[in-house]
C-alpha cells in the first residue's frame, strides 16, 4: 500500500480515544517516517516491518487506512464528528462538531488534545467567501452520515447510537474515517452553544431507559 499512498495509518480494530494509532509517511529518499504517540522515527523502507513489530501489540488486530490530505483550520488538521441517534424508528443527526488537532498531533480526538469548533465556522474558513459551497458540504455530510447509519443498522440491528467520523480533504472531497457504536459526546459540552449537547443527552436517556 505504501507504493500507492504516501501516508498510511495503522489503527487497532477495537481501539478508542485515538490510542494506538501509528502513521507511516513515505519520503522521496525512500525513507519512511513512523509516528506514534509523540514519538517519531525515520527508517529505511526495508526496516519498516522490523520497527513496527516493536510498536504494535502482537495479539491485537489492526486496520490499515490510506492517509488523507485533510483540510486545515489555522494550520491544524481537522475532522468532523457526527453524532447519530435512533430513539425510535428513524435516525437523527443530534450533533455535528469539528475536532481540531492539538499542536504536533495527527489525531483529533479530544482525549489526545483535540478541541471542538463549530462546523460552520471551520467550513467558512476553509471555503472563504463561498457560502454555497459551505451549504453543499453540510448537506453532503448529513446525507453520507445518515446513509452510513442505515447501512450499519442493517448489519447491526441493535445499535441506536453512532459516532460517524468524517474528513474533508484539501480538494473538498468527503470521506468516512470510521464509525463508533459507543461514541463519546463530552466534546459537545465544550461548545459555547449547548443545544446539541442537551439534545444528545436527552435522546441518550430515552434510548437507555427504553432499550436497556
Is the pLDDT reported for residue 10 higher than 80? yes
Which residue from 167, 142, 176 is spatially nearest to 71, judged by alpha carbons? 167
Pairing of strands 76-85, 39-44: unpaired
Domain boundary assignment for the chain: 7-66, 72-211
Q: What percent of the chain has pLDDT over 90?
A: 55
Q: How far apart are CA 16 and CA 109, in angstroms?
A: 9
- pLDDT band for position 151 (50/70/90)? very high
Grid cell digits, residue 63: 486496520
Mean pLDDT across the stretch 170-182? 92
Instruction: Kindly indicate whether the domain formed by 72-211 is annotated with CATH number 3.30.470.20.
Output: yes
Mean pLDDT across the stretch 4-9? 86
Q: For the stretch 170-183, what's the b/e string if a residue is b when 16 or more beta carbons lie within 10 angstroms of its beta carbon?
A: eeeeeeebebeeeb
Chain center to CA of 63: 14
Mean pLDDT across the stretch 64-90? 92
- φ, ψ at 163 (rounded to 5°): -105, 110
Amino acid at each position: 500500500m505504501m507504493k500507492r499512498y504516501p501516508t498510511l495509518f495503522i489503527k487497532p480494530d477495537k481501539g478508542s480515544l485515538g490510542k494506538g494509532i501509528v502513521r507511516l509517511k513515505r519520503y522521496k529518499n525512500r525513507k519512511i517516517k513512523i509516528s506514534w504517540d509523540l514519538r517519531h522515527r525515520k527508517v529505511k523502507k526495508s526496516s519498516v516491518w522490523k520497527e513496527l513489530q516493536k510498536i504494535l501489540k502482537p495479539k491485537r488486530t489492526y486496520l490499515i487506512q490510506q492517509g488523507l490530505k485533510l483540510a486545515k483550520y489555522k494550520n491544524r488538521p481537522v475532522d468532523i464528528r457526527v453524532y447519530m441517534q435512533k430513539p425510535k424508528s428513524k435516525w437523527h443527526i443530534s450533533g455535528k462538531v469539528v475536532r481540531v488537532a492539538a499542536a504536533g498531533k495527527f489525531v483529533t480526538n479530544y482525549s489526545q488534545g483535540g478541541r471542538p469548533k463549530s462546523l460552520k465556522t471551520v467550513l467558512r474558513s476553509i471555503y472563504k467567501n463561498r457560502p454555497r459551497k459551505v451549504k453543499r458540504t453540510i448537506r453532503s455530510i448529513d446525507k453520507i452520515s445518515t446513509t452510513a447509519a442505515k447501512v450499519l443498522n442493517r448489519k447491526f440491528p441493535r445499535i441506536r447510537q453512532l459516532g460517524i467520523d468524517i474528513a474533508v480533504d484539501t480538494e473538498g472531497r468527503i470521506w468516512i474515517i470510521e464509525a463508533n457504536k459507543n461514541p463519546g459526546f463530552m466534546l459537545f459540552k465544550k461548545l459555547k452553544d449547548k443545544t446539541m449537547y442537551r439534545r444528545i443527552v436527552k435522546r441518550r436517556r430515552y434510548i437507555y431507559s427504553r432499550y436497556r
